[in-house]
Chains A and B, each alone.
Chain A
Amino acid sequence: MDDRNKKEDRKNKKTPPKTTRRTFLKGLSIAAAAGSAGLVTGGCVGSPPTEEMGLKWEEFFKKNYRLMTHEEKNETVARLERLAKIRYDLDIQVANQEPLEQVLYGYAFNISRCKGYMDCVEACVKENNLDRRSKTQYIRLFEMDPGQLDPTSGEGKYFHEVPVERKFYMGVQCFHCENAPCIKACPTKATWREPDGIVVVDYDWCIGCRYCLAACPYWGRRFNWGAPQVPRGEINPKQHYLGNRMRMKGVMEKCTFCIQRTRQGKLPACADACPTGSRVFGNLLDPDSEIRFVLANKKVFRFKEDLGTDPKFWYFMD
């Protein structure tokens, strides 16, 4: 529904422009862009077309996503799509779908079932356009010996055939805490918790101080130390503003429960890809959901419960 709205808005934009603040700025920006785009992009080589510089200029001065009106959100999304087209000749769709009503996402991980195949990690990397150069991964799997329940004592880097006799596996990722220390730490409110429980980052608003990374007790955040690289053919064009759209160097990113999928009623890529059915994802507010069944009928626990972060991610066993 939101997508349809967006397209209509874009059509409306082509009708004669009213002199709003935005169109005024746009006129200004194209004139001013010649001098400043070099700064914005960090050095301009050659002479890129004016349209690109104008778009970049407007992108640079846009607001925090949460302060944007619905119209402004549609505009920035349209700009991002257009920029991808101009710069890389890519056709992407950037959604800005709002949270669904009466939804609070939760995740449960079955430690008796997971065999450590890593299909979830691979699916996550592809779905979320994660940087291939630095091999960024949102999900980590830890190989554990019996007698442990704390992933910090497990082996996070195993390179051998699985499953291994007498080992079990624990997956960790962003736990989408209700009382998230990272949100509290951010000096610019560039990261927040959406009404459906997803902790997101506005990549364009993040200044890259990395205080949130220091504050996270679960190592749930990843920083773009350099410009992320994804081979052209592997880019997932179905993107979300707060989710898997292309990040830039110097900003923080993290698992978003695949916001671009889950807000359309699909499972996150990791849960979808899991061959063992260890990953349960669903709406905590729906009494008939599988996640509610797990929480009501299984022995569940959470990681570092003593920190009071109230994560929305549980472990359970059969």
Chain B
Amino acid sequence: MTARQNKGMAAFVADCLRWSLAGGIIFKIYLASLLVVMGAGAVAYGKQFQEGLILTGMSNIVSWGLYISNFTFFVGVAAAAVMLILPAYVYKDKDLHEVVIIGECVAVGALVMCLMFITVDMGGPLKVWHMIPGIGLFNWPSSILTWDVLVLNGYLALNTLVPLYILYCNYHNRAPVGWKYRPFVFLSIFWAVSIHMITAFLYQGLPARPFWNNPLLGPRFLASAFAAGPAVIMMVLIAIKEWTPYPLDDKIFLKLKRIIVVAAVINLVMLFSEVFKEFYTFTHHSLSAQYLFFGLEGHTSLVPWIWTAITLNIFGTLLFAFDPSKGRSWYLMIAAICLFTGIWIEKGFGLIIPGFVPSPMGEVVDYTPTSNEILITLGVLATGALVVTILIKPALQILLNYKNSTVRRSDR
């Protein structure tokens, strides 16, 4: 076992591939079903590529829909890795340091989904090169969208390269060299905040859309992300705890729970503040909020969604705040699913669609995604799940081997 020094890059890649695909029959079925959903999504996208976005439910009034809603939400999930990195590196928290890598893998998966959602939403995906400086024209710094392109890709690079370096060292039975990666870890903390703030600025900076043109949008994005993101990580951790030999201390779950509760409560306070502003003095600019919460001119398609979301949000927060099970897996799983789903609806659909309704000319239409659009969305989600899975499995294997070998070395 100790002869694993200097195996080189090729062995690293080969072992990672092997570990990522190894597993029992249930795991194989899981992988296969992800691939099936991805395939269906790809076929649906092929159709959309041929016919155009006319195959979606979007229109000139509601011109962003399911894709951009999901994009917005998963930027938050990506940013949430920082809630593990920050305590692990700044406060030197040993328990959370154990699972930082999992947060980073989730972030990579979320970012892959974000970039895919943007791509499937574009009218001319083959013309993306028009945005590349040098051969295209990059409207930076004027367009917030160009900022978003920069920060998302930068964050993806940070969250890929840092764990890759650490794992590569561990694979070769070495401790990573601090100065080589720590600066990037601290950079990624600021970067995480920036990806979410800038994504909020995309919407916040548009006076044309009063529902979005609200200084609280950015901070609320952060608060909801720091609740929903760790909830996703919690779900992944529970899965790891239940189905893999990788040891996870119960303290990790308690700490994660505390982070989620604080963020979720702040999120609810801000939500309440927004609702108060919209409805205490009802102005022309509150029409979008009315459409969202109560319906407008007989159009009520979002009303059941937003109330479901708020119920799940509050329920999930309460479950996390008062945990009579004292950290039992199934209980935390339910709480995480509630909170995650609630924020997903509220910050996806509930944020993007009402921004467009009523239109700047006062018109109210409903938006319903088509089945083709839903298939593409599911395909992207499945891709994200696949990415997270095949990243986490070899990562855990490497960490476990490294841990065992260091234990063995200290025994000797």
Contacts and interface: CB of A to CB of B under 8 A. Distances in A.
Interface of A: 39-40, 42-43, 60, 64, 67, 134, 140, 142, 151-154, 156, 172, 181, 184-190, 205-211, 213-219, 221-227, 249-252, 307
Nearest to B148: A187
16 contacts: A60-B126, A67-B137, A154-B362, A184-B142, A187-B145, A187-B146, A187-B149, A207-B128, A209-B118, A210-B121, A214-B63, A215-B206, A216-B208, A218-B361, A250-B122, A252-B123
A223 B361 contact: no
A252 B136 CA distance: 18
Interface string B22-39: 000000000000000000
B187 interface: no
B123 A251 contact: yes
Report, nearest first, the 10 A-B pairs whose CB atoms are least far apart: A208-B123, A250-B123, A152-B362, A226-B54, A217-B208, A249-B52, A225-B54, A187-B145, A189-B137, A226-B52
Contacts, number: 143
B139 interface: yes
Given A187-B149, A214-B208, A224-B123, A152 B137 contact: no
A217 B124 CA distance: 24
Given A187-B139, A209-B145, A250-B53, A181 B208 contact: yes
A211 B123 contact: no
B360 A217 contact: yes
B140 to A, nearest CB: 8
B153 interface: no
A209 B139 CA distance: 14
B60 A42 contact: no
B13 to A, nearest CB: 30
Given A151-B362, A213-B63, A188 B206 contact: no
Nearest to A184: B142
A140 B143 contact: no
B145 A216 contact: no
Contacts of B298: none
A210 B143 contact: no
Nearest to A151: B361
Q: How large is the interface on B (under 10, 10 to 19, 20 to 34, 35 or more residues)?
A: 35 or more
Interface in B145-199: 145-146, 149
A190 B146 CA distance: 13
Contact of A181 (B130, B137, B149, B207): B207
State the majority secondary structure of interface residues on B: loop
A293 B308 CA distance: 58
A151 B359 CA distance: 12
A218 B360 contact: yes
Contacts of B118: 209
Contacts of A43: 50
B315 interface: no
Given A152-B361, A156-B361, A189-B137, A64 B123 contact: no
Nearest to A190: B130
A130 to B, nearest CB: 12
Contacts of A140: 361
B123 A188 contact: no
Nearest to B132: A188
A309 to B, nearest CB: 9
B290 to A, nearest CB: 15
Contacts of A189: 137, 139
B297 interface: no
A151 B149 CA distance: 36
A206 B123 contact: yes
Contacts of A252: 123
A64 B124 CA distance: 15
A173 to B, nearest CB: 11
A214 B64 contact: yes
Nearest to B139: A189
B58 interface: yes
B130 A207 contact: yes
B130 A64 contact: yes
B367 to A, nearest CB: 13
Given A42-B49, A151-B361, A226-B54, A185 B143 contact: yes
